[in-house]
Amino acid sequence: MEGFKALGLSYKNAPIHVREQLAFNELEASQFLTKLKEVFNIDEALLVSTCNRTELYYTSETDVTKGLIGLISTFKSLTKDLLLQYLNGYDSQEAAKHLFRVSLGLESQVLGDIQISNQVKRAYQKSADLNLAGPHLHRLMHTIFFANKRVVQETRLQDGTASVASVAVDLIGGFIQKIESPRIALIGLGEIGQNVLENLNSDDASITLVNRTRSKAVKLAEGKDILVSDFENLDQVIASNDVIISAVSTKTPIISSSSLKSGVIHKLMIDLSVPRSMDDDLENVPGISLYNVDQLTEKTLKARKTREKAIPDAERIIVEELSSFNKWKTEMEVSPTIQKLKNALDQIRREELARHKKLSENEMELLEVVTKSMIQKVIKLPVLQLKAACKRGDAETLVGVLNDLFNLESAEIEKK
């Protein structure tokens, strides 16, 4: 896809503290894309920003990479040196292929991640709302969505539960089904904690976030029906919630049986911390179901192996659908030449008819029908040859020949 480019970073090459600084919330994404359109006169752009990646896809016939880095630097108050250290660029086919791989979960930290497809769809909707999705981006995105549908139907890339966070969420879902107005506390909002939060989709449960840095919890809860509590109130949070998920970075456990109030206890406690943040003595408390990272990881191994086996099939689908998109794009590129050829031949037809002024109205109507039919038959072969040339990848040569034979460029200028 000529002129299509990508610029961004992901968990593969940037640590979480860098990814956090470059992450865009909904409002920031809209503001940035609007600024991008104004400054660079870009008509097509897509901004995908998650806890694992921030990537900007755009269409530009000129190289605006330095300018974009400058805009990101100013918008996010980050140094250009920091951005240059981590940002990767993709051009043309590599950019389109990378977007396919990202959207289908092949580039995700959790192979075959279902969430990324929805995140890309939301990013595309934002681009459309801001009039930043032109014909090429529309077609590319719908081709990607079709490819994702094929991956779901034809492969096992999304089978099973392949992340610790998603296994934890599955456990939570089963546990709270039996509880009226369940309450969930998520303690620690690093990368793992944010992954759990992203996967929590329970409309029935009340969610409370706890983090050593309260401002981070407030930011993640912004615009959502989520509560925030101070880290100093940890014992109170543990006592008042049915599900406790801890993803806190700590050298020694901070949650033990002493954190629990006396009485009948019925709680699910999930420790995602390494080292562990929940004491082993919790296992001896009646009514407590305690899970640690190792136990959850065991549940993911089988799914990961199944998904890994599906990678070649998913990559084959990408090749097929990207080829389909490229075919459409090439045909779109030659369609102006086809239209110019039609216009040139029709101009000759009309000029010849205009010379025969003595013809009756009925005769003129008959000639209109006959000559238009002739033009349609004359142009049929060049159009078929152009489409065949598109498939062979040498349409540019035939476009040049037609331009020279019929002087199409000059004819178009004269017409204007």
170, 177 Cβ separation under 8 angstroms: no
C-alpha distances in angstroms, 341 versus 232, 378, 404, 407?
76, 11, 11, 9
* 105 in any annotated domain: yes
How many angstroms separate the Cα of 300 from the Cα of each of 37, 72, 167, 305, 332?
43, 37, 7, 9, 45
Question: Could you tell me if 206 and 141 lie in one domain?
Answer: no
Out of 1, 51, 172, 248, the active site residue is 51
Same domain, 104 and 141: yes
pLDDT at 415: 52
What pLDDT does 308 receive? Answer: 92
* SS3 assignment, position 55: strand
Count of CB atoms situated within 10 Å of the CB of 172: 22
**Pair (169, 154) in one structural domain:** no
Q: Is 15 found in the same domain as 131?
A: yes
* Amino acid making up residue 219: K
Within a 10 A sphere around the Cβ of 250, how many other Cβ atoms?
15
Full DSSP string of 303-349: HHHHHHHTHHHHHHHHHHHHHHHHHHHHHHHHHHHHHHHHHHHHHHH
pLDDT confidence of residue 263: 67
Asked whether residue 11 is domain-assigned, the answer is yes
Of 159, 180, 204, which marks where a domain is finished?
159
Share of the chain above pLDDT 90, in %: 41
* Distance from chain centroid for Cα 289: 36
Read off the pLDDT of residues 238-272 as tens digits, 9 standing for 90 and up.
Answer: 989 999 999 987 778 888 888 787 766 888 999 98
CB 244 within 8 A of CB 187: yes
Which band of pLDDT confidence, cut at 50, 70 and 90, is reported for residue 29?
very high
- pLDDT, tens digit (0-9, with 9 covering 90-100), for 295-331: 888 778 888 888 999 999 999 999 999 998 988 887 7
Return the minimum-mean-pLDDT range out of 10-19, 75-84, 148-157: 10-19
Taking Cα atoms as reference points, which of 94, 201, 101 lies closest to residue 157? 101
Residue 392 backbone dihedrals phi, psi, to 5 degrees: -80, -20
167-199 confidence digits (pLDDT tens)? 888 889 888 988 888 999 999 998 788 888 888
Residue 312 lies in a domain: no
74 pLDDT above the threshold of 90: yes
In a domain, 310, yes or no: no
Q: How far is CA 61 from CA 158, 323, 357, in A?
A: 37, 22, 49
Q: Which is more confidently placed, 25 or 85?
A: 85
Whether residue 309 is contained in a domain is answered as no
Same domain flag for 10 and 110: yes
pLDDT (0 to 100) of residue 393: 64
Per-residue pLDDT tens digits for 350-361: 888 888 878 888
pLDDT the model gives residue 25: 85
The model's pLDDT over 83-106, given as tens digits with 9 standing for 90+, comes to 999 999 999 899 999 999 999 999
Q: Where does a domain end: 299, 318, 348? A: 299
- What pLDDT score does 152 carry? 94
- Between 310 and 410, the more confident residue is 310
362-375 mean pLDDT: 86
189-220 in b/e burial notation, b at 16+ Cβ within 10 A? bbbbbbbbbbbbeeeebbbbbbbeeeebbebb
Which single residue is written with the structure tokens 């969430």?
115
Kindly state whether residues 285 and 374 are assigned to the same domain: no
State the pLDDT at residue 264.
64
Full residue range of the structural domain in which residue 284 is found: 164-299
The CATH number given to whatever domain includes residue 184 is 3.40.50.720
390 belongs to the catalytic site: no
Structural domains counted in the chain: 3
The answer to whether the bond into 182 is cis (omega within 30° of 0) is: no
Instruction: Indicate the range of 114-128, 155-169, 182-196 predicted with least confidence.
Output: 155-169
Question: Residue 1: is its pLDDT beyond 60?
Answer: no
Q: Residue 154's pLDDT is what? A: 95
Whether 233 has a pLDDT exceeding 60, the answer reads yes
User: What local confidence, expressed as pLDDT, does residue 413 receive?
Assistant: 44
